[in-house]
Chain A
Amino acid sequence: MTTEQHIDELPNLSGSSQRADKAFRWVSIGAGLIVLVILGLITYTMASRTGPVFRHMGFRFFTERRWAPPKEIYGALALMWGTLFTAIIALFIAVPISIGIALFVTQVAPAWLRKPMVYVMDLLAVIPSVVFGMWGVLVLARHIKGLYKWLHTTFDSWPILGSIFGKPQTRSFLTAGIILSIMVIPIITSLAREVFETTPQSEKEAALALGATRWEMIRGAVFPHSKGGLVGAVMLGLGRAMGETIAVALTIGSALGQLTFNVLAPGNSMPSLITAEWGEADALKKSALIAVAVTLFVITIIINVIATSVVQRSIKRSRGAV
C-alpha cells in the first residue's frame, strides 16, 4: 500500500519540483563557478601588475636578499625566509601543545570537562589577530626581555644553539612565532581532536584488553590511525601562520634583509611588509609589493593543496580500516 502511494506521487515530482531541481542545480553550479572566476581574476590582475618589478629586477627578485626602496633594489628572499622561519617557530611550539590538548580532551579528560574545554579552545580561535598583536607588543615583548637575555647568555658558547639564540631583541622572529603559535593552537587542536575521535572504539578496547597502559594504547592504536590527519592539521596551521599579517607586523621588528637562524633577531615577513609599505609606495614599489603578494599566494596555495590531499588520503585509508 505505502509503496503504491509513493509511485503515485512520482509524476508530481517530475512536474514543477523537477524544474525547481534544475534551477537549483544551475544556481549552485553558478555559485561554484563564481569562486573559480574570482580566484582566476585575482590571480590575473595581480600577476599583470607585477610587470614593472620583473622588468626591473628580473628573476633576481627571488634571489636578492635586500629590500632597499631608496636604491630601487627589491628582493623577496629575506621576506620568504622570514615568513617560513616564523611559521616553523610557531609550529615547533604549537604542535606538541595542540596534540597534548587534543589527546587530553579525547582520551584522558572526564566527560564533564570535555565540552567546556572544546568551547574555550574555539573561543581562542575567534579572537581578532590585532588583539594578539597588541598583546604581543604591550605585554609579551616587555616581559620576555629577561628570558631572551638568559637564552642568549646561556647558550652563547654552544655550537648550534649559540647561533639560534644570538643577540636578542624583544621584537623578533621568536616573539612573532610565539604569538603565531597561540593563534594556530586552536586550529591544530580542533582538527587533531576530530582525527583522534575517529579511532574505532574496538581498536582502543583491544589494546587495553591486551594489557596496554593508556599511553601504550594511544601510541599503538590512536597515533597510527591518525597520522595522515595530523599531518594535514599541521599543514593547515602552517598555512594560517604564513598568511597572518597584523599580529606579525606588530611583533616581528620589521628589519629588512634578514637571512639568519637567530630566532632572537628582528626580521620581516611577506604579509607584514605589504601592510607596512603600501601606504607610501610609488609605482615600482607597488609592483614589487604585488609581486610579493603573488609569491605568498602561490606558496600558500601549494601548502593548502598538499594539506588537503594528505587529509583526503588519510580519510580514505581510515574508512578502509573500519
Chain B
Amino acid sequence: MTMSKRLTFAGAAVAIALTATACGSSKKTEETTTTAAAVETTAAPETTAAETTAAPSNLSATLDASGSTFVKNFLEEGVSRFTAANSGVTINYAGGGSGKGRQDLADQIVAFAGTDSTIKDEDLPTFKGGDVLYFPAVVAPITVSFNVSGVDKLSLSPTTIAKIFQVQITKWNDAAIAAENPGVTLPDTDITVVHRSDSSGTTGNFTKFLDKAVGADAGAIWTLGTGSTVEWSPNTQAAEGNGGVAQLIAATDGAIGYVDFADAIKAGLKFAAVQNKAGKFVDATLEGASAAAAGATVKDNLTFSAVWAEGDAAYPITAQTWIIIYKNQTDKAKGEAVKALLNFLLTEGQTFAKDVNYAPLPAELATKAIAQLDAIVIPA
C-alpha cells in the first residue's frame, strides 16, 4: 500500500518536472532552449546528397551567434539549408533579443548577431573588434491584430490606432473607428489593449511607427514616445512575447494588439489594414513589407527604417533585421564561413523567405548587400 503510494508520488513528481520543462521551452525561455539544444544543425549526410547540386564545400567552422528573436525562424530555416550543403559548418543561433546580440558582438563572443535596430552611436566604442558591417536579411510586417466577434475586416488610421493604444478610444463602436469603416457593424464591446510585458524590438518598431506618423512632430496625438518599453496605461493588458500577445488576443473578445506577422498567422488572428504615409489603407502582407523596404531611404552602410516608408503599396509598420559582423575577421575559417552564409541568405534565402512568413528584400537592396560582401576582410 505505502509502496504503491510512493510510486504514485514519484510518478507525479516526474510528470510535474516534465511539464515544467515543456512549459519552460514554450515560453520566453524558448530563447535559452535554443542555446542549449536547437539550432545545432550539423548536416545529415543523406540530405547533403539530396539537396546539393554544387560541389561539396570545404568550409569548416563552428559559428556562435545570438540576437533578434524576430528573425529567428528565418535564420533557423536558412541555417539548416546552409549546413545541409556545407557539412563542415556548425551554426548555433541563440536568440535572446537584439540587445543581447549587439552586446555579444561588442564583447566578441559571437561570430555574427541579428539585430532589428541599428547600434547607437554612443555604443560604437564598446565594439572591441572595430568597424561593423550591416547586412539586411529580411523584412516583415507587424500586424495590428484584433478579436471582435462579428468583425472580419477593419481599416485603421495611425491617429485612431494611437488613440486606441492610449485608451482614449475605449469602445469598438466609437465614431472614429466607425468613420474609417463604413459598412462594418461594430459592436458596443469594450476595447482591451494588449501589449508586450517584456521589452522588445517589436514594441520599438510599433511605437516608432506611431511616433513618426502622429508623434510629437506630427500632431502630438501619440505621447508615449518610442522605445522597447513605453509607459502603457494601467488600463491595458500585458503578455509575454509575440506568442503570448497573440494568445491573449485570441482569448479575449474585444482585444487588439500588435503581433509580428508569423505569430499572427500561426494564431489565426485577423488583422487590420493600416493607413500608410501616402494615405492608402494597406493590408499587412509580405508584398506590403517588401514595398515598404523599397520605399525606405537606404544609407551607405545599408541601414534604413522601413517604418512609415514612402509608396502607395508600402505597409507602414514594417520591421527589418540585419545580420551584423565585424569588417575585419580574425579567423580565416570562421570568416569564410560567415561570408558564405551571408551570401546564401542574400541569394537563395530571399527565395524561401516567404515560406517562413518573411518578406524578401527589394532586389536593389539585395544587390547592394551582396556587393558589400567584398568589404569583409579575411586574414590569409
Q: How far is the CA of A138 from the CA of B70 in the complex (A)?
A: 24
Nearest chain-A residue to B29 (Cβ)?
Answer: A130
**Is there contact, CB below 8 Å, between A255 and B234?**
yes
Q: Which of A225-276 contact B (CB under 8 A)?
A: 249-250, 253-258, 265-267, 275-276
Cβ distance A2 to chain B, nearest Cβ, rounded Å: 43
**Is there contact, CB below 8 Å, between A130 and B232?**
no
Q: How far is the CA of A280 from the CA of B9 in the complex (A)?
A: 42
Instruction: Pick from A123, A142, A282: contact of B12, CB below 8 A.
Output: A123
Our count of residue pairs bridging A and B at CB distance below 8 angstroms stands at 111
Q: How far is the CA of A281 from the CA of B117 in the complex (A)?
A: 12
Q: Does B300 contact A (CB under 8 A)?
A: no
**Is there contact, CB below 8 Å, between A279 and B13?**
no
Query: Which of chain A's residues have a CB closer than 8 A to the CB of B98?
Result: 280
**Is there contact, CB below 8 Å, between A142 and B20?**
no
Most chain A beta-carbon neighbours within 10 Å: one of B13, B207, B237: B237
Q: Which of B3-31 contact A (CB under 8 A)?
A: 5, 9, 12-13, 16-17, 19-20, 23-24, 27, 29
Given A68-B231, A123-B9, A127-B20, answer yes or no on A279-B27 (Cβ-Cβ < 8 Å): no
Cβ distance A135 to chain B, nearest Cβ, rounded Å: 9
Query: Which of chain B's residues have a CB closer than 8 A to the CB of A123?
Result: 9, 12-13
Query: Which of chain B's residues have a CB closer than 8 A to the CB of A69?
Result: 199, 227-230
Instruction: Pick from A70, A119, A254, A258: contact of B9, CB below 8 A.
Output: A119
- Please encode chain A, from 164 to 177, with 1 for each CB lying within 8 Å of some chain B CB and 0 for all others: 00010111000000
A169-B237, A281-B199 known; 20 new pairs, CB 8 Å cut-off, are A66-B231, A67-B229, A69-B230, A70-B226, A116-B5, A126-B16, A127-B20, A130-B23, A130-B29, A131-B16, A137-B239, A169-B234, A254-B197, A255-B238, A276-B197, A276-B240, A279-B99, A280-B229, A281-B99, A283-B123
- Name A residues whose Cβ lies closer than 8 Å to a Cβ of B: 66-71, 116, 119, 123, 126-128, 130-131, 134, 137, 142, 167, 169-171, 249-250, 253-258, 265-267, 275-283
5 nearest A-B residue pairs (beta carbon): A279-B97, A70-B225, A254-B197, A254-B238, A70-B227
10 residue pairs of the A-B complex, CB under 8 angstroms, read A67-B231, A68-B231, A70-B230, A130-B23, A130-B24, A253-B237, A253-B238, A279-B97, A282-B120, A282-B123
